[in-house]
Chains A and B, each alone.
Chain A
C-alpha cells in the first residue's frame, strides 16, 4: 500500500540536497504562495514544483495527491461561488430558464477567481510539503531542526504525528476489512462514511491510543530525549545546495520587488 507523506527511498536531486536547503525552499515557496494573489504566478509555482518532482524522480509520488487536490478545488470553488459573489455575473447555478427558482445563486467572475487562487495555493502547499517529506528521512529532519535550536520534544512530536499516518492508514484498512467480513455494508458516498464512523473509528482510536503509549515509552527507553547525540552520516552542504539557495535568493528578491511595485 502506498503510504501517505512518508519517506520514499530513492536517489534523486531532491533527495541529495541538504534538509536545511529544503526547509528554506519550503518556507520561501509557502510565503510567496500565501502573499501572492496572481493566478499566473501561482500556476507557474505549481508547474515549477511538478518539474522539480519530475527531475527528482518523484513525479509519481507527488501526483498521487491530485485526486485530493481536485476534490478540494471543487469544494473551494463551490463555497466561494455561494459565499463570495463579486464582479461580473457569468451565469447562475440554477439557470434563469427554470421557472420560479431560475436565476438563483449567481456565478460571478470574482468568486471563481478567488476559488482558483485558493486551489492553486493549496496545490503549491501540498506539492511542496509532499516533495519535502518524501525526500527527507525523519532522522535528517530531527538533526536539522535540532541545529535550528528547536526543542527535541517538539521535534519528536512532529515526527510522531507524521509516523502515525501510515499506522492509521494500514490499521484503518484492516479494521474496515474485519467489519466487512462481519457482513457490514455501510454503503458508499457521504452517508456511507457517516455510517462507518462507529465500527471503524472507535477501534482505530482505541488501538492508536494504546499504541501511542508504547511508542512514548519506546522513545524514552531508546534514549532519544537525552540529547547527547553522536553526529554520524551528517549531510554536508553540496554545490547543489548553494545553487538552490542562490536561486531562492534571486526568486525572493524578484518577488519582493514585483510585490512592492504593485503595492506602491
Chain B
C-alpha cells in the first residue's frame, strides 16, 4: 500500500536530516509499529508516509514515496491522498475543530460521498466503537486528554480509509483507555485495514503487531518480527522499558522520616468541585519528608486536582491542606513555591526564555536569588543537560524538555517536588532516566510525588502507592 524507498529529509533551516535513507514497505492488511527515542524521526516518517512532507513542507527531500504504486507527488493535493489514508496526529487538541463531539465526527463524514442514511449509520457505529456515545454533546475542548484522543481517532476512523497512520494515539491514556484503543485497532485489522502505528507501549499492542520497527537518528535501526528484534538486549530495552533496576541502582538513600515526625503535607477532609462537578471527595492524606509517593488512577480520577492544592493553585472547597504546617489558604502561590515545586505534564507550557540557562534562572529570580550560576549549573548537571546550557529550550527533544522542566523546579530547591505524568511521550530509556533522576533527588532528601497512570513505573520507583478513583483515595500502601 505505502512504500518509502531511500527517503531522506531535512527540515528547513536545520542541518541534521530528520530521515536518513529510510526504506519501508507497508503491505495491505498489516500492522507495523514504529518505536524509538524521541527525535528519532517517527513523526516525520508519518508525515512522509501520507504525502504531507512532499505536499506541505519545504526542506530537502530525496527518495520516493508511493501510495498504491503511485508517487505521492503525482496526487493533486492532500485532499486527494486523504481519500485513501487517514492520519491521527500526536496532539489531540489541535485536531478538534468543531464544538460538539458528534459534530466533529459528523462533519468529517459529510465529505466522503456517502448517502445521508449511510452517514447516520456510520456515525452511530463509530460513536459506539470509540465509546463516545455519552460524550455526544460535550465540547471537545473540555474533554480530558484521553477523551480528546478518542475523538480525534473517531473522526479519522469515520473517513473509512483503508490505511491508518496513528502517531502516539495513546500517549495520554490510562491502562483501561489504552486497552480500548487496542480493541478498536484489533477490529480494524480484522476488517483488513492497514495500520502504521507510532507507539511506546509495545506490551499493549503486541497481539496485533506484524512488524516492529525501531528507529534511531532518522534511520531504521531494526525491522522484523517482534520476537526476533526483542532477542537483542539493547533493542529490547528501547522497546520494553525495564524500570525494575532503578531502585537497585539508586544506592543508599535517606530513610523517610516516618510517621513519628510531623508530615510535610497534610490533607484534611479535602473536597473540591469544578463548578458543580465534584472532583475530590473528603480526601485525607499525610506525606512525610523523604518519601517517594506515586499517585495512580485513571484519567479524571482527581490526581492532578489533588496536587494542585499542594502549591495553592487550587483552594479547597471544603477541608484544609497544610504544607510544612502552614495552611495553604493563608499562603500565596509564590510563598508555597519555595516549599513545593510542581512540574506539569506538558513542559512546553513553561518555556519562554532564549536559552536553557535563562529558563532555569527565571525561577531563581522569582525567589529573589541573584547570582545563581552555581545553582543553575548544578541543576542542569543533575538532569544531564549541562551541555545544552546555551541552546534554545524548544529545540531540545521531548525527553530533554521534560528533564529541563525538572531542572527549572529543582533549581528553586523546594523540599517537595511534585511531577504530573513525567514520562508522557517518552521512550523507555528516557522514562528510565527521568525516574533515575527522581530517585537521586529523593536520596538528597527531597520528598517526591509522582502522578502516573503507568503502574509499572509506580511500583518500581516509589516507596508508597496511592490509588485514586472518582475523587477518592481507594488504596494507600507501601510498595514492597
Contacts and interface: CB of A to CB of B under 8 A. Distances in A.
A215 B119 contact: no
Interface stretch (A77-85, A158-166, A251-259): A158-166
A47 interface: no
A220 B77 contact: yes
A166 B106 contact: no
A181 B344 contact: yes
B97 A181 contact: no
A55 B251 CA distance: 69
Contacts of A212: 94
Among B86, B311, B344, B349, find the residue whose CB has the most chain A CB atoms closer than 10 A. B349
A223 B77 CA distance: 10
B101 to A, nearest CB: 10
A137 B99 contact: yes
Interface of B: 50, 52, 56, 77-79, 81-83, 85-87, 89, 91, 93-100, 103, 106-116, 119-120, 137, 139, 141-142, 155-156, 159, 308, 311, 313, 332-334, 337-338, 341-342, 344, 346, 348-352, 362-363, 366-367, 394, 408-409, 412
A232 B120 contact: yes
Nearest to B116: A232
A138 B99 contact: yes
Contacts of A226: 79, 111
Given A3-B141, A221-B50, A182 B112 contact: no
Contacts of A220: 56, 77-79, 82
A181 B352 contact: no
A166 B367 CA distance: 32
Interface in A167-185: 167, 170-171, 174-175, 177-185
Contacts of A9: 100, 137, 139
B98 A138 contact: yes
Chain A interface size, under 10 / 10 to 19 / 20 to 34 / 35 or more: 35 or more
Contact of A232 (B56, B93, B97, B106): B106
Contacts of A229: 110-111
28 contacts: A3-B139, A6-B99, A7-B99, A7-B139, A137-B98, A137-B103, A138-B98, A139-B98, A142-B107, A163-B99, A174-B346, A174-B349, A175-B350, A180-B313, A180-B333, A181-B409, A182-B409, A203-B350, A203-B352, A207-B349, A214-B89, A220-B82, A221-B87, A222-B155, A224-B111, A230-B110, A231-B116, A232-B110
Contacts of B350: 175, 178-179, 182, 203
Contact of B97 (A179, A183, A218, A223): A218
B100 A7 contact: yes
Contacts of A235: none
A177 B83 CA distance: 42
Nearest to A162: B99
A185 B366 CA distance: 7
Nearest to A156: B97
